[in-house]
């Protein structure tokens, strides 16, 4: 669908040197969106990629924060499995986006995207879990319409990077990422080579 963008495409739209000169526009009609959704963990944390890419939550939060800074009237919602804001200052950044800027974080995996043929809006179907006043959890399938959807794509190791690690004799983990020392994450298995 034309109004589904990868996170890199959205990032380019936010850039002053990008194709839209820093304005967020729907590709289908070049109009400013009223509602934008981010879908987290796309292509990761699944049967083929059971790891967290460790950057997607924060770049989605950054993109939503920047968008809210320029266009506070745009409704932003990030669909998450959980939030991984683990580095220094990241939790405060996430809470600021959620509590002060009004970026909504919805804990649910979107099961389907349907394009409305008339408006080219995107209808997201997901399981909504909410807690009632008496503490019971209620579940229902919801459908909501968004003008744009951004896919927060998980990272994979490129084949050329795997080959470089082999040539340098640097250990990699089961997923092909550089194996590092737990409390010194720049250190690799070879002295003088850093991640």
Query: What are the tokens at 23?
Result: 């304005």
Query: Which sign, positive or negative, has the C-alpha torsion 104, 105, 111, 113?
Result: positive
Residue 80: CB atoms within 10 A of its CB come to: 20
Cα distance between residue 1 and residue 149, in whole Å: 10
Cα distance between residue 75 and residue 141, in whole Å: 21
Cα distance between residue 107 and residue 54, in whole Å: 17
Q: State yes or no: pLDDT of 48 exceeds 80.
A: no
Nearest 5°: CA angle at 91, between 113 and 47?
Answer: 40
Q: Which of residues 94 and 44 earns the better pLDDT score?
A: 94
Give the strand pairing for 75-80 and 104-107: parallel
Tell me, what's the pLDDT at 9?
A: 96
Provide the whole-model pTM.
Answer: 0.84
Tell me, what's the pLDDT at 87?
A: 80
Model confidence band, residue 52 (pLDDT cutoffs 50, 70, 90):
confident
Query: Which sign, positive or negative, has the C-alpha torsion 132, 137, 138, 141?
Result: positive
Rounded percentage of the chain residues whose pLDDT exceeds 70? 98
pLDDT digits (tens, 9 = 90+) for 119-150: 999 999 998 877 777 878 888 899 999 999 99
Closest CA to 76 of 146, 3, 153: 146
Tell me, what's the pLDDT at 45?
A: 64
pLDDT digits (tens, 9 = 90+) for 92-119: 989 999 999 999 999 988 989 999 999 9
Cα distance between residue 83 and residue 171, in whole Å: 29
């Amino acid at each position: 669908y034309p109004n589904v963008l990868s996170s890199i495409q959205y990032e380019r739209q936010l850039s002053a040197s990008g194709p839209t000169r820093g304005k967020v526009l729907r590709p289908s009609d070049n109009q400013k969106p009223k509602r934008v959704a981010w879908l987290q963990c796309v292509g990761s944390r699944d049967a083929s990629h059971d790891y967290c890419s460790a950057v997607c939550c924060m770049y989605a939060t950054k993109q939503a924060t920047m968008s809210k800074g320029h266009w506070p009237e745009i409704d932003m919602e990030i669909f998450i499995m959980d939030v991984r804001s683990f580095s220094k200052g990241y939790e405060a950044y996430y809470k600021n986006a959620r509590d002060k800027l009004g970026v909504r974080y919805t804990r649910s995996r979107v099961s389907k995207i349907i394009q409305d043929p008339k408006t080219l809006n995107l209808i997201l179907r997901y399981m909504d879990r909410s807690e009632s006043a008496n503490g019971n959890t209620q579940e229902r399938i919801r459908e909501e319409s968004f003008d744009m959807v951004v896919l927060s794509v998980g990272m994979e190791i490129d084949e050329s990077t795997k080959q470089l690690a082999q040539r340098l004799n640097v250990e990699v983990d089961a997923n092909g990422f550089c194996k590092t020392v737990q409390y010194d994450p720049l250190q690799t298995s070879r002295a003088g080579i850093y991640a």
